[in-house]
Amino acid sequence: MKTFKIEHRNSDGFEIIDLYGELDAHTASQLEESLKNLISDQKSNIIVNFRELDYIASAGLGVFMAYIEDVRTIGGDIKLSNMNDKVYNVFDLLGFPTLYDIFDDEKQAIKKFLSDS
């Protein structure tokens, strides 16, 4: 099993969370912690980059569901980018594309933020 890792960076005022490995019941709390910290710092323009994520379980999806409203309440959004087909299919199966903006790459997500503001 691949180890899970989160890296956080800032790009032009956008908070980018890079996910690596496998996001499941054991690792979901790390993502939860990252999102909670951003929200408590009032950082609400969040892009989650899935380029290096190989697998996501329902526990990982639950974290996104748990925090999207909080982020939108403070005037922001969570946009998702760079999913492989396997990860995208899990999101798609649960109807996420109607709730979230999902992009092929980070630049598109940033453009969408800029055009929404």
Q: Is 52 exposed, middle or buried (0-12, 13-18, 19+ CB in 10 A)?
A: middle
Structure confidence at residue 24 as a pLDDT band (50, 70, 90) = very high
Q: What is the largest CA-CA distance in the chain?
A: 41
Domain extent listing, the chain: 5-111
Q: What is the mean pLDDT of the chain?
A: 95
Read off the pLDDT of each residue in 60-81 and give the average, rounded to a whole number: 96
Residue type, 89: N
Give the tens place of pLDDT for each residue, 79-113: 999 999 999 999 999 899 999 999 999 999 999 99
Q: Can you give the pLDDT at residue 109?
A: 97
Please report, rounded to a whole number, the percentage of residues in the chain having pLDDT higher than 90.
Answer: 94
Instruction: Provide the CATH topology of domain 5-111.
Output: Transcription Regulator spoIIAA (3.30.750)
Tokens for 46, please give them: 């969040």
Query: Which bin fits 7, alpha (ψ -120 to 50), beta or left (φ > 0)?
Result: beta
Q: Can you give the pLDDT at residue 1?
A: 59
Q: Can you give the pLDDT at residue 116?
A: 85
27 pLDDT above the threshold of 80: yes
Tokens for 112, please give them: 């969408």
For the entire predicted model, the pTM comes to 0.95
Read off the pLDDT of each residue in 32-44 and give the average, rounded to a whole number: 96
